[in-house]
């Protein structure tokens, strides 16, 4: 059973930017589904995705998120990624250092 998004992601709006703060230690299928839904709802708005609380990445879930993030029409930036997480995102075609700001 998937957790409700309110348990997984905290959404805040600050100065025209939508902050999506993950509140889970493991980025699994449920967290990916919640984050992908938040991306869809945000349409073209600038996003800041905060992975500070995330310790583990499920490979399949990260791949699903990367595909959705590449398709997001608005600017997207990342915060709180660890070195291994940055490498995984790059491997899956989403370079956080080159994310649209």
Taking alpha carbons only, the member of 69, 70, 78 closest to residue 97 is 78
pLDDT band, residue 7 (cuts 50/70/90):
confident
Over residues 25-35, mean pLDDT: 95
pLDDT at residue 36, rounded to an integer: 95
Over residues 60-82, mean pLDDT: 92
Residue 27 contacts residue 61 (beta carbons within 8 Å):
yes
pLDDT at residue 99, rounded to an integer: 65
């Amino acid at each position: 059973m998937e957790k409700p998004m309110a348990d997984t992601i905290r959404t805040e709006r600050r100065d025209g930017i939508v902050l999506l703060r993950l509140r889970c230690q493991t980025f699994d299928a449920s967290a990916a589904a919640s984050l992908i839904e938040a991306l869809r709802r945000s349409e073209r708005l600038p996003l800041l995705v905060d992975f500070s609380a995330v310790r583990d990445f499920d490979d399949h879930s990260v791949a699903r998120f990367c595909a959705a993030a590449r398709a997001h029409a608005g600017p997207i930036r990342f915060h709180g990624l660890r070195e291994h997480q940055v490498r995984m995102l790059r491997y899956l075609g989403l370079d956080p250092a080159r994310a649209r700001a």
